Structure 1
Amino acid sequence: MTAIDPTGSAPAAGDPNADPNIEPNIEPNIEANIEANIGPRGDSNPAQYDASATSAALGNMAEGAFATMPAMDPSRLDGEGHVLYSAAYSHYARRVLQARPEVAEVVTRAATAPLTRAWMEARLSALHEPAADVDAAAGRALRRLRAEVMCAIVERDLRGAATLAEVTGAMTDLAELAIQHGLHVLGNDLAATFGRPTCQQGSEVQELVVVGMGKLGGRELNVSSDIDLIFLYDEDGETQGGTRSLSNHEYFIRLGRRLINLLSEVTADGYVFRVDMRLRPNGDAGPLVCSLGMLEEYLIVQGREWERYAWIKGRIVSAQDSPHAQRTAALLERLTTPFIFRRYLDYGVIAAIRSLHAQIRAEAAKRSGGLAGHGMNQRSFNIKLGRGGIREIEFMAQVFQLIRGGQDPALRVRPTLEVLAVAVERNLLPAGQAEQLADAYRFLRQLEHRLQYRDDAQTHHLPTAPEEQHAVALSMGCEDWQALLERMHALQEPVAQQFEATFADPYAEGDTQPAEELWPELVREEAATRASQEGPDETDPESTPCQRLQAAGFSDCTGLYDRLRAIATSVRYRALSETSRARFDQLVNRALDLAARQEDADSTIARFLDFLDAISRRASYLSLLSEYPQAMDRVAHTLHASRWAAAYLTRHPQLLDELLDSDALAGAPDWPAFRQRLADRLAASDGQVETQMDILRREHHAETFRVLLQDLRGTLTVEQIADRLSDLADAMLEVTLQAVWRQLATRHTETPRFAVIAYGRLGGKELGYSSDLDIVFLYDDPHERAPEVYAAYARRLITWLTSHTAAGMLFDVDTRLRPNGEAGLLVTSFDAFRRYQFREGDNTAWVWEHQALTRARFCAGDAEIGARFESLRQDVLCQPRDADALRAEIVEMRGKVSDGHPNPTALFDLKHDRGGMVDIEFTVQYLVLLHSRAHPALTRNAGNIALLRIAGELGLIDTTLAGEVGDAYRLFRARQHQLRLDGHAQARVPAASVANETARVRALWTAVFGDG
């Protein structure tokens, strides 16, 4: 059945195999023969049979005489004739072979290689005998084909020759072939009377779109499964070309009903597949067939949570080779994808799956007489719905899809094992846990097939009769039933533990609730006060609510109570759904508890309430914090530690997801893997510009937040933070360059000859959290349209980087350091840039532009241009310069910078005041420009501290003073960084706190520039 129906499958009426508790008849001596022919490990050990006496021999098997058949060389699998394992183990296969002895030879030959769709099509063609009764002829052929396929699958599987993927793939191919063949035959038959359905304009033939759900959609069909189908059509119209006309809706209903009967009606040849149509819109109460428009309206207006799970595996299984079918498939994907996969991280599915699983577990217990719970010795244990069963593994995979599939298309794959593999690739699931889930899944699916092989019954219950238990154990390669149970339990227990850890109610035991629930009491009292319009003044510090807040650790209890009361009476709060309000109440109460533990409880709770107010209308964020108390704890730490971090998280609440990944918070980024992953995600959304821009922003915010969290933990130095933020900016620029070029309609080449040069903080790899990007664009391309193409490219790139979207903004960009500044061209040819820097001609670079070049580097784009720029940069820096003229120009420039950043306060500005960071930077730039010709080591873009050390080692400045100023620069950056995290716009501190450092800096300035 599907992954969403708590009640299990829908058995065909009158099917005696539908009840999993009905035990099949057991032949007295068959188990001994199975052991003799299969062996305790299931190894291949065929025995010879007389093909001419097959029917008689099969008759003898039913009476327990199977062991009398002679054995033969176990290596001989030549199709000349041997005992069929399928007949020895499967009552169903034995009945088929008794009724149709010729199937033995078909199965013998088919079992030598994996079954393919082509083989099935050939067999169907051979079996289909045209007749006046189209339905009967097609049905007979399909039923006989199914019997052959089933026997061949059983044979290969029991011999150990078939993988799980082969078995489920073969059954899926059979179902698809049956559906497509049925539609073809029945459609031709209906066409004789009604013609073909067409669109309203009559210009295009319409087709019935059959969507396979559940395991059919996931290509995971088991050997005795029903198939979950939904019938759709594109648009209304009428049939044309027949003696009578029908509306498309009526025509497709007729076709759909005949297809269901063709597949599911039980005849003397059995059935093809049981068909379940209950997943269609409105289930049994809805029309058998609906248009795409009807489906879209239903999903938007009435679509329920469990239907999202169902549609994850939804896939068109009717023919898709016509233009109409391909167009319809695209339309279906466009309307179902937003329903299944939310654009945001949807943690609300955890509670929904928890609730659904509880229903499933209760139903399993009911079906098993209340004994489907924990333990190996349960009677009639359900391997699908029981603890650690198939359904729990499927839910473990689906939760990743439903939470993250809206943002990561790679998670939209259908097969369960593929989903687990992607989860590992995305670092959502540890490889060891995924392997445990996959091993259990394969084992349980194989066991499921062994149970169903016996009587072609859609059962998932373990047998209770000893003879059946022994047969099943042998077929699974176990010596006895106890060995099978022990192996099964060893695989299921990790599944159950993982499932319970993922879906357990975090507050079920109350362990993580704060001792006093302040917020619920405050809300209740406020509601009571509003109702009576009487009562004490709650803002009175002597009132009970304020006393409780003060006792909890808050100083401004009156102000806090006013804020809480404002929330409780706000329109936003009262507009929340009942579920969201309950979660919000829970989180406010927990926030009060967590904030009260901080030294600055008042400021922490103020930030907390701002944050909770920002996310209150996003049920998914409320769900995440409710489901993961550890995330709430980390939120508290983040809000307490930094005002800037609090504001950043409040602006980008989607970053809450990052608080769950402890490994990512501890490790260093893998930038090549990051770029590749980001490029893959952008490629998957090619042509969807807004989506791509949002992807870039979310990834950048997430990586920045990871750096920030490590920063707040104290695990990174200021230099390491700057390096990581600079590397992140480089990666974002590189990937954005590629994406924008693909979108550029005027591009004249597949690979742009274009490079981005970083200046300033990005160039010096000293980027901060809020730094803008100083960049210059160079190109080297002889094409006649190159200037206009690259200018358009640069403008588009800036738009992608700076635009505000639903996910925020990526970077502020400053391009004023390009030749001639704002008056110059946005992009510059490499040759023009070279001439400008070398002052060839009238248009030449200023000294301050050469100062800027000391901190410039290639950061993204064409690597060849980048290498040429680095060579050019070194040549420019190594030019001979007059010391006095250079000194005068740099001192003059320093004065202009000071004038542009006045400081009217008594505090010391770490960056701009005399003795601060700008003095150090200008000193280093002077030393680089003056001495690089004699000392090329100074051209390295190694940062100010390293360049000071090199200058000291070269004897250009006092070595001790160089080290002291380097330490001062490190301290200034650290203090500046902390002030920015605390939300200060200016990096200013008491002058006395840095008096020693500023004195060293001024001493170095005087030593280099004199008293000017």
Structure 2
Amino acid sequence: MTVPDPTSSAAGAAPAHPLPTEAPDAPPGPIGNMVEGAYATVMARALPATDSNAAGEGDVLYSGQASHYARRVLQARPELAAVVADAARAPLTRTWMEARLQALHAPSADAEAAAAQALRRLRAEVMCVVIERDLRGLAPLGEITGAMTDLAELGIQFGLRVLGDDLAATYGRPTGAQSGEVQELVVVGMGKLGGRELNVSSDIDLIFLYDEDGDTQGGARSLSNHEYFIRVGRRLITLLSEVTADGYVFRVDMRLRPNGDAGPLVCSLGMLEEYLVVQGREWERYAWIKGRVVSALDTPHATRTAALLGRLTTPFVFRRYLDYGVIAAIRALHAQIRAEAAKRSGGLAGHGVNQRSFNIKLGRGGIREIEFMAQVFQLIRGGQDAALRVRPTLEVLDVAVARNLLPAGQAEQLADAYRFLRQLEHRLQYRDDAQTHHLPTSEDEQLAVARMMGYEDWPALVAQMNALMAPVAQQFEATFADPFSDPDAPQCEALWPEIVREGQGSRPTQDGPDETDPESSPCQRLQAAGFSDCTGLYDRLRAIATSVRYRALSESSRARFDQLVNRALDLANKQDDADSTIARFLDFLDAISRRASYLSLLSEYPQAMDRVAQTLHASRWAAAYLTRHPQLLDELLDSEALASAPDWPAFRARVAERLQVAHGQVEMQMDILRREHHAETFRILLQDLHGLLTVEQVADRLSDLADAMLEVTLGAVWAQLATRHAETPRFAVIAYGRLGGKELGYASDLDIIFLYDDDHERAPDVYAAYARRLITWLTSHTAAGMLFDVDMRLRPNGAAGLLVTSFDAFRRYQLREGDNTAWVWEHQALTRARWCAGDSAIGARFEALREEVLRQPRDAAALRDEIVQMRAKVAEGHPNPTPLFDLKHDRGGMVDIEFTVQYLVLLHSGAHPSLTGNKGNIALLRMAGELGLIDKTLAVAVGDAYRLFRARQHKLRLDGQDQARVPPASVADQTAQVQALWRAVFGE
């Protein structure tokens, strides 16, 4: 019988169960493109003619034409055609499956046999409907894999209920010895079942667990819980996988359980935990990424057990640090997989004989490589970013793009290839319900599969397959290539192994060479490589090679460490200060030597090692910062981020999201804040060291970063505060000093005060507790370091005052209303104050109050005397016993300029409101010159001097000097200009 074209008049009368011939929402990719045309017409022409339509009068079921399996099912159960035709009009749902299972399940004395038959018949119906909807272009990939996953979960849960009821009469129910609660078998779905990505003919990877030991109670006989659950597990496997006259439900694979086939079929959670801690292997981490409880979760005990399992497996899978060691592990695992696949298939260079047995799952550019590309992000970063712990592959790629871990274009290539290959996988499996990933060998099968994919012939399909898989293979090989396969060896490569061998026991004899003699071979080679202090360097290297720390390294870590020392010697000798660079390098490598992940990162990414060398060479402070916070190595991998300007709203949103995910885990939240702050600081530092930022831009970015960190910390701490009385605190942070003037440095502390404006009776106590908690979050040392040093002494009454001040009390204090009033120096400080975080309404009121205070009339002579006396006190507190000039505190330096600007602002803002703007000292000096308050030329000169002083101070701090002191002659012209302005303003 010729298959009629349902879109033509020749199709005859309307079928009894008409099916749609076009998809309202076509899935992406080639299938979607085909659906946009006459999909049904193409399919009718493409599929072979047959006399076994079995769809009823006028019905055309493409499942019966394209799939040998579906054809057999429809022939065996003719009534199924109407069911399939009706069901194919809408997406498959779990609700539909449950209704069909109830209709198919006939009560019987043999409950297990009745359940087995009902599940097998349901599986046949689901398969036919899935095939029908897929071939008509009605079902996107997610619907197909979701339907098969729902079927598997339904089968497991239904089977457990039937088996539990059947066993109860004999053995009762398993009961926990400690809790007395009824225990349940916890079935964990792994692999594609766990990720809700099950293919149509897949087996299901399961692990059977239970919570407590004990015995069954309430039956004629008693078993231990362990023995009981073994019986349940065995019968469940049989129920699902045994082949009967009705087929099977799912093949079951139990090899992912602890110890595989050699381990017990069922294990307790305690046994699983011990196994993962003691014996858990790297590949099992990959497997557990998708692990998910698929047995029923509708009881309190099951819910608690699932949560307990999550807490047990999460630390095993997702390390708290950035785990770059997984790259080498995946590389090794994939090499084994590819070697195995190569035994059974050739290349895919074209559509000739070599591709005949190609495996689209395990072959080059195949499904497994896409999955590995997604999993590597999860395994490296999932411990620090919970968003990456999602299970479906396509969702992981989306998160990777959102986190800027993967360019959107590359993610799109991977996703397109993944969808195409999964669709092709399904069509291969539709043919005979076989779990195959190999391309067909016969021409007839090739043509049938090509037509099912929407192509006119096999070469066209293979060409598209090649075009999609080639970028996958290229991305995979770029990600997992061995970085040390380069034949160009570093100049010093042979030196370090020689030193190690000597350190392991080879000593010079009395008549032999002295290895510490500059004329001996190692020292000569170090000197030839560009190191001046070759004896000192040799001694340092020898000390490392003989150290307990080095000898305690694992074999793999020691190999990586050796590679990095060789590379460090080679990179350092290219710098003009090779000795100081290698000294910093060795300090750095010593600090990270016990962290296998950091050694792996530098081993896997030579470009990161190059940037480490540049950073260590450029700045002693940067070297110390990186050594203290080696997790920042990760930042060296993103070249685009190192050159781009920060997006502060996006930064705050990202950090707030991560804090929300970790809500209730205070230590984790504090670590998130520190890691984010360190990372952003390091990005600014790297741009600074590369000359991309001016000193003013560095200060602006560091100040904006501090503002952002304060903002997100306020939200996180308030959410944790048990005594809070409102959803949103009416609380603000006011910045003074360097932060207030947006002149923050890398190591600056934060001068801040806290204000609130809230009439609630508990507000003072609540906000006091809030402020204390906030300071703790900002200043505590955790495993990730410290966030900020905080100085609260600028609050009203200083250290003797309240930690938090109501806005009204602060206003009265600043306006000198009452007995307790602000000092002149506090008004000086107010010239560089601003709202930086918290309630913006309080911030607006503060800015208005600040302007009001600064514009108050003041007596010039009294103000001058106050500021001169305060300047003298500051000078007394910062003596300089050296012949060098202190850029900040010596007369003619930065403090003189700052005090002069503050005096001008306090004295003249009443007449010139523009002076109240927090615009920085240089801008305010020039403004004062334009207004005629000081000599205009002198104002410009002093402003330039201030910029120079800041730049010199900044450079000295980066060089690791705590005191910014320089030869007086180098700044003589500038100090003279500053002193001239001081005399002109203060008359001294």
Per the normalisation by structure 1, the TM-score is 0.93
- Matched residue of 1:307: which SS? helix
Does the CA contact (< 8 Å) of 1:374 and 1:387 recur in 2?
no
Does the CA contact (< 8 Å) of 2:324 and 2:380 recur in 1?
yes
**Cα deviations by residue, 1:43-76 (Å, 9 ceiling, x for unpaired):** 66669xxxxxxxxxxxxx9984479x99xxxxxx
The verdict on how the C-alpha distance between 1:183 and 1:706 changes in structure 2, with shifts beyond 3 A counting, is same
Which residue of structure 2 lines up, in the alignment, with residue 764 of structure 1?
A: 741
Which residue of structure 1 lines up, in the alignment, with residue 531 of structure 2?
A: 554
- Matched residue of 1:583: which SS? helix
Aligned AA for 1:131?
A: S
Q: Distance in 2 between matches of 1:219 and 1:531?
A: 65
Q: Offset of 1:133 from its aligned partner?
A: 1.4
Does the CA contact (< 8 Å) of 1:347 and 1:623 recur in 2?
yes
Q: Offset of 1:525 from its aligned partner?
A: 3.5
Q: Offset of 1:536 from its aligned partner?
A: 1.8
| 747-756 vs 849-858, greater mean Cα deviation | 747-756
Q: Offset of 1:392 from its aligned partner?
A: 0.4
- 1:681 pairs with one of 658, 665, 670: 658
Correspondence list, 1:779-858, <5 A: 779-858=756-835
Does the CA contact (< 8 Å) of 1:239 and 1:247 recur in 2?
yes
Correspondence list, 1:653-672, <5 A: 653-672=630-649
Q: Distance in 2 between matches of 1:411 and 1:535?
A: 59
Does the CA contact (< 8 Å) of 1:107 and 1:152 recur in 2?
yes
**Cα deviations by residue, 1:278-335 (Å, 9 ceiling, x for unpaired):** 0000000000000100000000000000000000000000000100011001100000
Which residue of structure 2 lines up, in the alignment, with residue 408 of structure 1?
A: 385
Which residue of structure 2 lines up, in the alignment, with residue 304 of structure 1?
A: 281
Q: Offset of 1:521 from its aligned partner?
A: 2.3
**Cα deviations by residue, 1:630-684 (Å, 9 ceiling, x for unpaired):** 0000000000000000000000000000000111101011111111111111111
Which residue of structure 2 lines up, in the alignment, with residue 646 of structure 1?
A: 623
Correspondence list, 1:3-152, <5 A: 41=34, 64-65=50-51, 81-152=58-129
**Cα deviations by residue, 1:549-591 (Å, 9 ceiling, x for unpaired):** 0000000000000000000000000000010000000000000
Correspondence list, 1:880-895, <5 A: 880-895=857-872
Q: Offset of 1:507 from its aligned partner?
A: 1.1
The verdict on how the C-alpha distance between 1:474 and 1:34 changes in structure 2, with shifts beyond 3 A counting, is farther
- 1:727 pairs with one of 704, 710, 733: 704
Q: Offset of 1:514 from its aligned partner?
A: 4.3
Which residue of structure 1 lines up, in the alignment, with residue 725 of structure 2?
A: 748
**Cα deviations by residue, 1:175-216 (Å, 9 ceiling, x for unpaired):** 000000000111110111111111114631111000000000
**Cα deviations by residue, 1:819-847 (Å, 9 ceiling, x for unpaired):** 01011111111111011001111111000
Q: Distance in 1 between matches of 2:573 and 2:227?
A: 67
Q: Distance in 2 between matches of 1:261 and 1:250?
A: 17
Which residue of structure 2 lines up, in the alignment, with residue 17 of structure 1?
A: none
Q: Distance in 2 between matches of 1:374 and 1:798?
A: 63
Identity value in percent: 82
Correspondence list, 1:343-492, <5 A: 343-368=320-345, 371-372=346-347, 377=352, 378-492=355-469
Which residue of structure 2 lines up, in the alignment, with residue 948 of structure 1?
A: 925
Which residue of structure 2 lines up, in the alignment, with residue 287 of structure 1?
A: 264
Query: Higher RCO, 1 or 2 (CA under 8 Å, sep at least 6)?
Result: 1
- Matched residue of 1:198: which SS? strand
- Unpaired stretches in structure 1, ≥5 consecutive residues: 1-27, 48-60, 71-78
Which residue of structure 1 lines up, in the alignment, with residue 191 of structure 2?
A: 214
Which residue of structure 2 lines up, in the alignment, with residue 248 of structure 1?
A: 225
| 531-540 vs 223-232, greater mean Cα deviation | 531-540
Which residue of structure 2 lines up, in the alignment, with residue 14 of structure 1?
A: none
Aligned AA for 2:60?
A: V
Which residue of structure 2 lines up, in the alignment, with residue 11 of structure 1?
A: none
Q: Offset of 1:742 from its aligned partner?
A: 1.2
**Cα deviations by residue, 1:758-816 (Å, 9 ceiling, x for unpaired):** 00000000000000000001111111221111111111111111110100000000000
Q: Distance in 2 between matches of 1:724 and 1:517?
A: 44
Aligned AA for 1:120?
A: M
Q: Offset of 1:32 from its aligned partner?
A: 13
Q: Does 1:499 align with 2:492?
A: no
Does the CA contact (< 8 Å) of 1:31 and 1:470 recur in 2?
no
Aligned AA for 2:243?
A: V
Q: Distance in 1 between matches of 2:4 and 2:976?
A: 95
Aligned AA for 1:421?
A: D
Aligned AA for 2:283?
A: W
Aligned AA for 1:189?
A: D
Q: Distance in 2 between matches of 1:146 and 1:510?
A: 56
Q: Distance in 1 between matches of 2:454 and 2:490?
A: 49
Which residue of structure 2 lines up, in the alignment, with residue 523 of structure 1?
A: 500
Which residue of structure 2 lines up, in the alignment, with residue 604 of structure 1?
A: 581
The verdict on how the C-alpha distance between 1:489 and 1:531 changes in structure 2, with shifts beyond 3 A counting, is farther
Which residue of structure 2 lines up, in the alignment, with residue 334 of structure 1?
A: 311
Aligned AA for 1:907?
A: L
How many pairs align?
A: 960
- 1:979 pairs with one of 932, 956, 973: 956
Does the CA contact (< 8 Å) of 1:898 and 1:913 recur in 2?
yes
Q: Distance in 2 between matches of 1:374 and 1:975?
A: 61
- Unpaired stretches in structure 2, ≥5 consecutive residues: 12-20, 22-30, 42-46
Does the CA contact (< 8 Å) of 2:64 and 2:74 recur in 1?
yes
Per the normalisation by structure 2, the TM-score is 0.95
Aligned AA for 2:89?
A: T
Q: Offset of 1:900 from its aligned partner?
A: 0.7
Which residue of structure 1 lines up, in the alignment, with residue 134 of structure 2?
A: 157
Does the CA contact (< 8 Å) of 1:641 and 1:712 recur in 2?
yes
Which residue of structure 2 lines up, in the alignment, with residue 584 of structure 1?
A: 561
The verdict on how the C-alpha distance between 1:332 and 1:189 changes in structure 2, with shifts beyond 3 A counting, is same
Does the CA contact (< 8 Å) of 2:508 and 2:515 recur in 1?
no
The verdict on how the C-alpha distance between 1:657 and 1:202 changes in structure 2, with shifts beyond 3 A counting, is closer
Does the CA contact (< 8 Å) of 2:350 and 2:463 recur in 1?
no
- Matched residue of 1:758: which SS? strand
- Matched residue of 2:467: which SS? helix
Does the CA contact (< 8 Å) of 1:779 and 1:828 recur in 2?
yes
Aligned-residue RMSD, C-alpha: 2.1
Q: Distance in 2 between matches of 1:734 and 1:804?
A: 20
Q: Distance in 1 between matches of 2:953 and 2:743?
A: 12
The verdict on how the C-alpha distance between 1:534 and 1:736 changes in structure 2, with shifts beyond 3 A counting, is farther
Which residue of structure 2 lines up, in the alignment, with residue 568 of structure 1?
A: 545
Aligned AA for 1:408?
A: D
Does the CA contact (< 8 Å) of 2:183 and 2:301 recur in 1?
yes
Q: Distance in 2 between matches of 1:711 and 1:584?
A: 29
Does the CA contact (< 8 Å) of 1:518 and 1:592 recur in 2?
no
- Matched residue of 1:206: which SS? coil
Q: Distance in 2 between matches of 1:700 and 1:533?
A: 56
The verdict on how the C-alpha distance between 1:138 and 1:535 changes in structure 2, with shifts beyond 3 A counting, is farther
Which residue of structure 2 lines up, in the alignment, with residue 12 of structure 1?
A: none
Q: Offset of 1:714 from its aligned partner?
A: 0.4
Q: Offset of 1:531 from its aligned partner?
A: 9.6
- Matched residue of 2:384: which SS? coil
Q: Distance in 1 between matches of 2:276 and 2:892?
A: 66
The verdict on how the C-alpha distance between 1:247 and 1:722 changes in structure 2, with shifts beyond 3 A counting, is same
- Matched residue of 1:231: which SS? strand
The verdict on how the C-alpha distance between 1:462 and 1:885 changes in structure 2, with shifts beyond 3 A counting, is same
**Cα deviations by residue, 1:81-133 (Å, 9 ceiling, x for unpaired):** 52111111100000001111111111101111110000000000000111111
The verdict on how the C-alpha distance between 1:132 and 1:606 changes in structure 2, with shifts beyond 3 A counting, is same
Q: Distance in 1 between matches of 2:258 and 2:903?
A: 75
- Matched residue of 1:733: which SS? helix
Q: Offset of 1:33 from its aligned partner?
A: 13
Aligned AA for 1:971?
A: L
Aligned AA for 2:409?
A: G
Q: Distance in 2 between matches of 1:681 and 1:542?
A: 58
